């Protein structure tokens, strides 16, 4: 797990090229504090940089950028390949020679033997750049779930890439802001892929590789495998498969030569991971957070699970004064504005403080098994979509935010569906807040963002929306950026490629339950998952931010905001009539970050 950066251009001299990449890497040092390395090919105008967080093969043999013995290919790699032992054994039978115990070297040899077909054989979370010195091609590759970030810029006949947006700005490669980002933040609560806050910088799509050939031509190619055919209709068969594949995923992701643990919130997903991981690795460390505010305190549930684990449970009290003290650091760590990630910042801080370099997280289970209210609301949305769109125009004028979101249904596409389910502000409200036209808002939301979801209003579509919009753009990005700000790697077993592929084959009538979220996951593991963990209302990994932000003078003071509409909203927040996420989004848009 690391941070990577690089530049491919014929317009800079070697010294200038190396200086730019060095600046980029220095900016990313927090995500790779253990080592730094560079590769420069003067003739090709290529420079790769690397900041290392040592997890597998902690020796100097893991130094990057790395090449094979013949130097046919160079790589700078961020992530983990969990099936590298199996791939390595297969490659050795084909004649490949290895000089280290790293998964990085396995990627190189896999490419040399199988070409770009190798990318689809990798199981893990990864983003890497690879230079084929024989053909002159440079590849940027991102994992099929988009767990690891990779941003790129192709302006001015050059290719630049980095793990974080701040690297482009620091090196002066891309500095102009994308003026649409306030619209996206106020609507989504995050910046949706492939866009960023910078005009010329995009996110590489998950499951894609970008190839720049020696002539400078760029092509984007998907390597995501086709969905498996057929459905599993027997519940017992489905449960047996879930049990097997999740255990396999956890076993894979416990591979590490550095200390590893589990985030334990007390919910179903983290509790299950901790209990299953404990079966495979004794003396497992778990990290938990608790609060003085009883409404958010889950210690009783955390303790139930911790008592069944042989390892040590580290617990940390987070108070409002901690939030006040660390808010500037949290805002800086974000890299791009978001309404999420505060919880991830704190628990990552404590995990690193407790000596861990790697942790398992339960991200992904809700999206796979129907853990969100949207899985039931999607049916109501299907009914609403049968009504004439003009009927929804008046709802934007209502004060109640739940009803105001009906105004999104004037536009018939999946982005509008998602914003009806999860959106913060309506187009009319956003137009007032940033002093622009509603037409501009709609162009940014519905014309510029690709509409590619299914068209059926069922639980599979809810899963698509939650996976490809909420989890992809918010949960995964914010988990990565916040954890890496502390030099911590977060692994997500529920997003293992083979586990996801298996779950996708389960018939929706078996996979989802109308009355109990994640029922099939609970039924599969009822023998080890305590009843008081799953038989209670869903809480999620939440903080008392409604109260904390209301007390924070920077966020809650109307005088800090510009415009009548913004001041009115903050007054509503102070009166308990506006959710903290909306106030926090507005706070960031108004220039306080």
Supply the residues annotated as catalytic: 2
- For the chain, the C-alpha Rg in angstroms (whole number) is 24
Distance set, CA 45 to CA 41, 127, 157, 213 (Å): 6, 21, 12, 13
Closest CA to 82 of 278, 277, 255, 259: 255
Please work out, in degrees rounded to the nearest 5, the angle formed at the alpha carbon of residue 430 by the alpha carbons of 427 and 433: 155
- Helices 84-93 and 103-114, interaxial angle, to 10°? 50
Closest CA to 347 of 123, 92, 543, 547: 543
Answer yes or no: is 56 a known binding residue: no
Answer yes or no: is 103 a known binding residue: yes
CA distance 201 to 167: 11
Answer yes or no: is 191 a known binding residue: no
CA distance 245 to 254: 14
CA distance 35 to 64: 9
DSSP string, 173-239: S---B-TTHHHHHHHHSS--TT--SBTT-EEPPTTEEEEE-TTS-EEEEE-PPPPPPS-B--HHHHH
Answer yes or no: is 355 a known binding residue: no
Torsion angle defined by CA atoms of residues 472, 35, 90 and 80, in that order, rounded to the nearest 10 degrees: -20
CA distance 61 to 252: 22
β-pair type (218-222, 208-212): antiparallel
Characterize 314-324 residue by residue with b for buried, 16 or more Cβ atoms within 10 angstroms of its Cβ, and e for exposed: bebebebeebe
Residue 135 main-chain phi, psi, to 5 deg: -95, -20
Characterize 136-165 residue by residue with b for buried, 16 or more Cβ atoms within 10 angstroms of its Cβ, and e for exposed: ebbbbbbbbbbbbbbbbbbeeebbbbbbbb
Are 54 and 80 contacting, i.e. CB atoms less than 8 angstroms apart?
Answer: no
DSSP count for the chain of H helices, then E strands: 26, 17
Closest CA to 460 of 515, 526, 379, 555: 379
The three-state secondary structure class of 142 is: strand
Tokens, residue 579: 């959710």
What residues form the annotated binding site for L-glutamine?
Answer: 103
What residues form the annotated binding site?
Answer: 103, 289, 361-362
What residues form the annotated binding site for ATP?
Answer: 289, 361-362
């Amino acid at each position: 797990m690391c941070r990577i950066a690089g530049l491919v251009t014929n317009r800079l001299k070697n010294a200038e090229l190396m200086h730019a990449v060095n600046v980029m890497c220095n900016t990313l040092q927090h995500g790779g504090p253990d080592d730094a390395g560079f590769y420069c090919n003067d003739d090709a105008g290529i420079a790769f940089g690397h900041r290392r967080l040592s997890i597998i093969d902690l020796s100097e043999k893991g130094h990057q950028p790395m090449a094979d013995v013949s130097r046919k290919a160079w790589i700078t790699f961020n992530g983990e390949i969990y099936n590298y032992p199996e791939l390595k054994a297969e490659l050795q039978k084909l004649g490949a020679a290895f000089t280290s115990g790293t998964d990085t070297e396995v990627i190189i040899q896999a490419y040399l033997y199988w070409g770009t077909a190798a990318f689809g054989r990798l199981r893990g979370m990864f983003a890497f750049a690879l230079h084929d010195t024989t053909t002159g091609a440079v590849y940027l590759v991102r994992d099929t779930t988009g767990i690891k970030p990779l941003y790129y810029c192709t302006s001015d006949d050059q290719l630049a890439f980095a793990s974080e947006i701040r690297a482009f700005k620091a090196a002066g490669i891309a500095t102009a802001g994308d003026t649409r980002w306030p619209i996206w933040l106020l609507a989504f609560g995050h910046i949706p892929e492939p866009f960023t806050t910078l005009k010329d910088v995009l996110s590489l799509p998950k499951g894609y590789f970008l190839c720049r050939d020696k002539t400078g031509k760029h092509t984007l190619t998907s390597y995501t495998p086709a969905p498996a055919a057929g459905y599993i209709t027997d519940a017992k068969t489905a449960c047996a498969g879930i049990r097997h594949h999740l255990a396999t995923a956890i076993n894979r992701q416990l591979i590490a030569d550095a200390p590893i643990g589990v985030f334990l919130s007390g919910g179903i997903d983290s509790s299950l991971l901790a209990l299953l991981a404990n079966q495979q690795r004794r003396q497992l460390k778990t990290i938990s957070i608790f609060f003085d505010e009883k409404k958010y305190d889950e210690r009783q549930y955390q303790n139930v699970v911790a008592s069944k684990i042989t390892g040590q449970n580290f617990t940390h009290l987070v108070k409002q004064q901690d939030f006040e003290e660390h808010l500037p650091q949290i805002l800086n760590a974000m890299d791009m504005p978001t309404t999420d990630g505060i919880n991830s910042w704190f628990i990552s801080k404590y995990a690193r403080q407790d000596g861990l370099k790697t942790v398992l997280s339960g991200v992904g289970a809700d999206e796979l098994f129907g853990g969100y209210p949207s899985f039931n609301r999607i049916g109501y949305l299907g009914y609403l979509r049968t009504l004439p769109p003009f009927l929804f125009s008046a709802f934007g004028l209502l004060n109640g935010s739940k009803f105001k979101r009906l105004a999104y249904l004037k536009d018939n596409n999946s982005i509008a569906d998602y914003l009806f389910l999860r959106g913060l502000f309506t187009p009319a409200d956003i137009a007032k807040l940033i002093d622009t036209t509603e037409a501009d808002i709609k162009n940014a939301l519905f014309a510029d963002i690709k509409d590619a979801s299914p068209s059926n209003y069922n639980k599979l579509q809810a899963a698509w929306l939650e996976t490809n919009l909420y989890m992809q753009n918010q949960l995964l990005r914010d988990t990565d950026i916040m954890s890496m700000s502390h030099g911590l790697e977060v692994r997500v077993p529920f997003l293992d490629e083979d586990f996801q592929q298996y779950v996708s084959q389960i018939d929706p009538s078996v996979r989802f339950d109308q009355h109990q979220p994640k029922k099939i996951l609970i039924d599969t593991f009822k023998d080890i998952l305590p009843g008081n963990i799953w038989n209670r209302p869903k809480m999620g990994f939440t903080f008392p931010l409604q109260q904390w932000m209301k007390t924070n003078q920077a966020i809650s003071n109307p005088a800090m905001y510009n415009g009548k509409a913004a001041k009115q909203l903050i007054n509503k927040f102070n009166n308990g009539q506006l959710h903290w996420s909306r106030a926090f989004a507005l706070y960031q848009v108004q220039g306080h970050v």
